Structure 1
Amino acid sequence: MNLSNRIKLSSMMFLEFFIWGSWFVTLGTFLGNNLNASGSQSAAVFSTQSWGAIIAPFIIGMIADRFFNAEKILGILHLVGAVLMYQMYNATDISAFYPYVLSYMILFMPTLALVNSVSFNQMKDPEKEFSTIRVWGTIGWIVAGLLISFVFHWDSADGIKSGFMKNTFMMAGVGSLILGIFSFALPATAPKVSKEKVKVSEILGLDALKLLKDKNFAIFFVSSILICIPLAFYYQNANPFLSNIGVDNPTGKMTIGQMSEVLFLLLLPVFFSRFGFKKTILVGMLAWALRYALFAYGNASDLSFMLIIGIALHGVCYDFFFVSGQIYTNSKAGVQYKSAAQGLITLATYGIGMLIGFEVAGSITDTYKMADGFDWKMIWVIPAGIAAVVFLLFAVLFNDKEKVKVEGV
């Protein structure tokens, strides 16, 4: 890959995840403080991510992959996204805000696949080249969080009280506008030419349902859905929790999770090859239970180190479960069902699992809302318990002794 394309693709990844990190991390805090949203209303807003994940394959599989260049679709989606972000910035109540965020997520989720498609199209050896491009996305997410906390102070007590949190949507909108225009300068990624009619089952990965006949894969599949229930608690409640209990610069400190994600992604192949799939994924499940226990019993003063450790565990939680799960799925699917199987797991986790998770998280949050705030201890103990139960079920029921090969190790 020449230097010009490397810079373009790295910039694309940086902007893609800068945009997402600009508003999604602080969304729960914004909804509660600026729009006075209840737990169930917040759950409905966060669930738009799941609806976007469910609808995204149709946009990619039926439109982008067949009729238009990927970089042009990417540009159009982000230009429209910039307009929707501006509308979210102006929204003053949850009923006005929801249609815009739903529309935005339906358009944004497909861009996650599009940036990968544009990148892979320029690579001769994706296994070696992709990580050096994709890491700029994580850097973009980190930069957004650091700007919110340490430069603009929008998530400070005074910033929240003054309503400055809505500026995160303006920052995301500007980023979306820039990426929308910049996308048209990206390397051309022509559509896949196919005269055959595309099947809905292929787009959604439903052809891979045959893999569920394998008992161990079925156990993994169900566990993937269940573990997304505690995952939803983190997305929906972590930033409001840290802000509510008085942690300084909460959004900036949450970027520690992305930093650890980079570190543990590098450690994953070594751990995976030495200990195998089952032990690796069990460590990931246990990390979810541990991080929520730390949140439940930590505080913003003498026990603040517990909160920092909980945030730092994000790398173990995400990489050791989700990334190792993708590797396992790839190994079980075989050549015929590789793409379909990954699509099925994505649909199960970010679609079904997260939809259930956000609904549960919203209900629990409403249940433990008090006159002067929230009973955060119980709000975190419950997902910790759920993660522990999933850990035990997987440890007892999963018994696949077949060695999973990690490519490149």
Structure 2
Amino acid sequence: MSEKKSPVFIVPRLSVMMFLQFFVWGAWFVTVGNYMFKQGMGDSVGWAYSIGPIAAIISPFVLGMVADRFFATERVLGALHIVGGVLMFCAPMVVDGAESAGIFLTMLFLHMLCYMPTLGLTNTLAFHNITNQEKEFPLIRVFGTIGWIVAGVFVSKVLHSDQTALPFRIAGISGVVLGVYSLTLPNTPPPAKGKKVSLRDVLCLDAIALLKKPSFLVFIVSSMLICVPLAAYYAYAPVFVNDAGLADPAFKMTFGQMSEIFFMLVMPLFFARLGVKKMLLVGMLAWVVRYGLFALGAPAGTMWMILVGIALHGICYDFFFVTGQIYVDKAAPKPVRGQAQGLLILVTQGVGMLVGAQIAGRLHAAFVMGHETDVLLAWQNYWYIPCAAAAVIMVFFAIFFKASVEKPVEPA
């Protein structure tokens, strides 16, 4: 029997969608810290990296109660990107010194409220329109990582615009283009059309029941906690790279996504040899090593240490987050897998990253702000803290997590 294939050109069309999806995010997300410092809003950078997690906490409820039930996916995707693109394009227009931080952050927050639901919508649209998800979706999804890389190279290496408003303009225009393009994609009916909104589904109560399993509880707690030091990387690594004197910080940060593609390709080989627990531990260890390299390389601005620390992002992300998603899929009973993955996103991209961004902002204010004469030594003290935190979480996980997948807890 011949293998079913998706309609001609559908995979390339969905790949373009995924490329633009992450091009929009990658165009501004890495540069916003340096831009805000340039505009005198540096003490609010922690909040700039808190709005995404807040939106990530809110968006599943909006998506679950509205988008999944009443409107075709491509229409919701198109409308959200068009509105979000306009908001992003206009965000720099409200900036006029440090006193503009509040309204600027509000504009970014409104954009992220539009953007965050689209991360799930693009996956939904892709899965609905391909016939071989296991083989075709990875090919489509990798174009998202490529889109992030291309955005970083373009705004930083080509345009040298890390500290300007140009990345926001590019992200805004790209968002509108993606919104219009989304409306041309195949009709994709709402996946939960006609299904009643259940409080049990909204609150993920069936997924929460999985926390009765000791190892699943340890995994969820560890996943949330490891995102606290991770937030320091997303929020302040580009600022640190700039202070260390490395040109085009956003371009340098794309080395992490480049390594992500490589480790994604070789990950099956490691998975077969290491198993779940060791894969997760290697991912956590990469966090410790990354922050250790940043700390050791900070005083002299040692380029190779900083760049290796950035390149470790591939191991940090693939070995922990991707392996974690696989573990959750195996640990949860089939009817609850969607909720369980949603719970994982909620505690990591939502709660963990939100708490982490706030702590990172306070640490930066305490250790780095006001130390312009010895700023690199100040950065060394800063990076020792997430390094130590990641090490403690890794040890906790190593002691209490059991590698075997326990019997799934069936929903009541």
1:172 matches 2:171: yes
Does the 8 Å contact 1:57/1:204 carry over to 2?
no
**Structure 2 counterpart of 1:325:** 324
Q: What's the TM-score, normalizing by structure 1?
A: 0.93
Q: Deviations over 1:373-393 (max 9, x none)?
A: 641101111001000000111
Secondary structure of the equivalent of 2:183?
helix
Q: Equivalent residue for 2:53?
A: 50
The equivalent of 2:190 in structure 1 is 191
Are residue 23 (structure 1) and residue 28 (structure 2) matched? Answer: yes
Cα 1:193–1:381, aligned 2, differ >3 Å: closer, same or farther?
closer
Q: Deviations over 1:216-239 (max 9, x none)?
A: 111111101110011100110011
Deviation at 1:45, TM superposition (A): 2.0
Which of the residues 64, 75, 80 maps onto 2:83?
Answer: 80
Instruction: Name 1:391's counterpart in structure 2.
Output: 394
Output one character per residue of 1:115-153: Cα deviation in whole Å (capped at 9) or x when no partner. 111111111110110011111111111111111222111
Measured after TM superposition, the shift of residue 372 of structure 1 is 1.1
CA contact (8 A) 1:205 1:339 kept: no
How big is the shift at 1:87? 2.1
Within 2, Cα distance between the matches of 1:339 and 1:91? 39
Q: Which residue of the partner structure matches residue 3 of structure 2? A: none
**Distance (Å, rounded) in 1 between the aligned partners of 2:401 and 2:176:** 47
Counterpart CA distance in 2 for 1:290 and 1:380 is 11
Letter in 2 for 1:120: F
Using the alignment, how far apart are the partners of 2:74 and 2:285 within structure 1? 40
For residue 106 of structure 1, report the CA deviation from its aligned partner. Answer: 1.0
Instruction: Report matched runs for 1:138-157 at 5 Å.
Output: 138-155=145-162
Within the candidate set 376, 380, 393, 1:377 is matched to: 380
Amino acid of the structure 1 residue aligned with 2:28: W
C-alpha deviation, 1:5, in angstroms:
1.8
Amino acid in structure 2 at the alignment position of 1:55: I
Is structure 2 residue 2 aligned with structure 1 residue 10?
no
**Structure 2 residue 261 is matched with structure 1 residue 262:** yes
Q: Identify which of 121, 136, 139 aligns with 1:132.
A: 139
CA distance in 1, matches of 2:300, 2:247: 10
Instruction: Give the letter aligned to residue 6 of structure 1.
Output: V
Give the % identical residues.
44
CA deviations 1:15-37 (Å, max 9, x no partner) are 11000000001111112222423
**Amino acid paired to 1:8:** R
- Once the two structures are superposed, the pairs formed by residues 207-222 of structure 1 within 5 Å of their partners are 207-222=206-221
Aligned-partner SS, 1:370 = coil
- Whether the aligned pair in 1 keeps the contact of 2:30 and 2:238 (CA below 8 Å) is yes
**Residue 353 (structure 2) pairs with residue 354 (structure 1):** yes
Deviations 1:270-321 (A, max 9, x none): 2122111111100000100100111111159773111111111000001111
Worse-matched range after superposition: 285-294 or 302-311: 302-311
Deviation string 1:74-97 (CA, Å, 9 cap, x unpaired) is 110011012101221212120220
User: In 2, distance between residues paired with 1:90 and 1:311?
Assistant: 32
- C-alpha separation between the residues in 2 aligned to 1:244 and 1:8? 40
Structure 2 CA distance for partners of 1:371 and 1:306, relative to 1, 3 Å: closer
Question: Are positions 1:113 and 2:120 aligned together?
Answer: yes
Structure 1 position 43, deviation (Å): 1.6
User: Which amino acid in structure 2 is aligned with residue 370 of structure 1?
Assistant: G
Which residue identity lines up with residue 134 of structure 2 in the other structure? E
Task: Please tell me the residue identity of whatever aligns with 1:132.
Answer: L
Name the CA shift for 1:301/1:384 in 2 (closer, same or farther; >3 Å): closer
How many angstroms does 1:196 deviate by? 3.9
The letter of the residue matching 1:244 is D
Higher mean C-alpha deviation, range 77-86 or range 282-291: 77-86
CA–CA distance in structure 2, aligned partners of residues 204 and 117 of structure 1: 21
Whole-Å separation in 1 of the counterparts to 2:205 and 2:51:
22
Let me know the Cα RMSD of the aligned residues.
Answer: 1.7
Q: How far did residue 349 of structure 1 move?
A: 0.6
- The CA distance in 2 between the partners of 1:13 and 1:180, in whole Å, is 12
Counterpart-to-counterpart distance in 2, 1:352 and 1:302:
32
- Letter of the 1:142 counterpart: I
Displacement, 1:193? Answer: 5.0
Mapped to 1, the partners of 2:222 and 2:209 lie a distance apart of: 17
The superposition leaves residues 217-267 of structure 1 with CA deviations (integer Å, 9 ceiling, x where unpaired) of: 111111011100111001100111101121012211211111111111122
Structure 1 SS opposite 2:258: helix
Alpha carbons of structure 1 residues 125 and 267: separation in structure 2 relative to 1, 3 Å: same
**Alpha-carbon distance in 2 for matches of 1:332, 1:396:** 19
**Distance in structure 1 (CA, Å) of the matches to 2:183 and 2:102:** 34
Q: Which residue in the other structure is 2:410 paired with?
A: none
In structure 1, runs of 5+ residues without a counterpart are: 405-409
* Alpha-carbon distance in structure 2 between the residues aligned to 1:207 and 1:116: 23
Contact 2:10 2:130 (C-alpha < 8 Å) held by counterparts: no
Match of 1:407 in 2: none
CA separation in 2, counterparts of 1:312 and 1:69? 39
* Alpha-carbon contact 1:247-1:300 (below 8 Å) kept: no
Distance 1:32 1:276, change over 3 A: same
